[in-house]
Amino acid sequence: MTKPLQNRPAIVTGAAQGLGRAIAERLLHEGASVVIADIKGPPLEKAAAELEAIGDVRWLTCDVSDESQVRELCVFSEKAFGPCKVFVANAAILIAESIVDFDVARWRKVIDINLTGQMICMKHALPSMQRAGGGSFIQINSKSGKKGSYKNSAYASSKFGGIGLVQSAALEMAEQGVRINAVCPGNLLDSPLWKNDLFKQYARNQGVSEDEIRRKYIEQVPMRRPCTYEDVCNVVVFLASDQSSYMTGQAINVTGGQEMR
Ligand SMILES: NC(=O)c1ccc[n+]([C@@H]2O[C@H](COP(=O)([O-])OP(=O)(O)OC[C@H]3O[C@@H](n4cnc5c(N)ncnc54)[C@H](O)[C@@H]3O)[C@@H](O)[C@H]2O)c1
């Protein structure tokens, strides 16, 4: 049986670990040919070696905030698999700090990677999709793109901006069959981002234990469980496939009911 994304050329950024790696794995299972990219070379190469057992995967080190590297990524992918049909812009960073203490250079870094990086990826991937006669650009956003986030202004601002970028680009590309949508996951509490970093940052900023932070974030979800990679991958595959062919400019919540706008 033909798979839903059979031979569809795809790029996933921030794919060395976490959600990006899970999305790349799922796209390969669905038949796509996938280039994975990340700023961290060694873990990316390791991920590619593991994913080779599933399907046709290539890898390239790339900083999404560097235009020449993103241009090279799109050329590399097109040479390997043909014009890009699916681009999952997943790479992002999170630095949490109170506004009054936030170092401006660190604030700018978050915007540079999370928002300007998204624009740079669009700038170089969308022409490839136009050449392919259509495509699906999927921005990994967050529920923090819909609602303010406590002591997390840089990240929330970058994610709110991302939705404006998606809507604007969707208007520019709509007539050419290139669709642009965002996915807004809830808290992936079992991801490396939370386990290695966020539980510690939030516990420190909010003056409570890491266990209390976990309980607090689960209690905020009407479905009373964290978001999982599978929850997000299901929506990414839908957006990458022709099943969503009448959808563009959307920002879809995957939050167990926590965000409804
Ligand atoms: N973890 C969560 O709870 C959660 C919730 C909602 C949304 N998200 C979003 O999901 C996406 C992935 O998050 P994650 O939890 O897997 O994070 P993560 O930190 O585990 O992975 C992010 C990856 O992006 C890479 N990266 C960082 N800066 C980069 C750059 N400049 N260029 C290229 N790659 C770069 C990192 O090396 C890393 O491999 C992000 O867009 C994040 O905002 C995460």
pLDDT in tens, 15-40: 999 999 999 999 999 999 999 999 99
**C-alpha span between 28 and 51 (Å, rounded):** 8
The answer to whether the CB of 194 is under 6 A from ligand 1 is yes
Ligand 1 midpoint to CA 241 (Å): 23
- For residue 27, what are the β-bridge partners? none
Ligand 1 midpoint to CA 90 (Å): 6
What's the rounded mean pLDDT across residues 221-228?
98
The answer to whether the CB of 144 is under 6 A from ligand 1 is no
CATH of 9-186+228-254, one of 1.10.3720.10, 3.60.21.10, 3.40.50.720, 3.20.20.70: 3.40.50.720
The amino acid sitting at 43 is P
131-146 as b/e: b if 16+ CB within 10 A: ebeebbbbbbbbbbbb
Instruction: Please provide the average confidence, as pLDDT, over all residues in the chain.
Output: 97
User: What pLDDT is attached to residue 202?
Assistant: 82
* Number of residues assigned to the chain: 261
Judge contact between 232 and 254, C-beta under 8 A. Answer: yes
DSSP string, 195-251: IIIIHHHHHHHHTS-HHHHHHHHHHTSTT-S---HHHHHHHHHHHHSGGGTT--S-E
Ligand 1 midpoint to CA 197 (Å): 12
Ligand 1 midpoint to CA 187 (Å): 12
Judge contact between 22 and 229, C-beta under 8 A. Answer: yes
**C-alpha span between 31 and 48 (Å, rounded):** 16
Q: Which of 58-72, 121-135, 200-214 has the lowest mean pLDDT?
A: 200-214
Per the rule left: phi > 0, alpha: psi between -120 and 50, beta: everything else, 132 is alpha
Kindly report the protein residue whose alpha carbon is nearest to atom 24 of ligand 1.
14
Ligand 1 midpoint to CA 121 (Å): 15
| Atom number in ligand 1 closest to CA 91 | 24
The answer to whether the CB of 65 is under 6 A from ligand 1 is yes
What's the rounded mean pLDDT across residues 216-224?
97
Judge contact between 140 and 19, C-beta under 8 A. Answer: yes
pTM of the complete model: 0.98
pLDDT at 206 over 90: no
> Strands across the sheet with 33-38, in order?
57-61, 33-38, 9-13, 86-89, 135-140, 178-185, 251-254
Nearest to 44 by CA among 20, 71, 74: 20
User: What pLDDT is attached to residue 205?
Assistant: 80
**C-alpha span between 111 and 56 (Å, rounded):** 33
The answer to whether the CB of 44 is under 6 A from ligand 1 is no
**C-alpha span between 143 and 163 (Å, rounded):** 11
Tell me the pLDDT tens digit for each residue of 47-101.
Answer: 999 999 999 999 999 999 999 999 999 999 999 999 999 999 999 999 989 999 9
Per the rule left: phi > 0, alpha: psi between -120 and 50, beta: everything else, 52 is alpha
Q: Which of 59-68, 122-131, 205-214, 251-260 has the lowest mean pLDDT?
A: 205-214
The answer to whether the CB of 253 is under 6 A from ligand 1 is no
User: What pLDDT is attached to residue 1?
Assistant: 81
Mutational test site, ligand 1, from 74, 191, 229, max ligand atoms within 8 Å of CB: 191
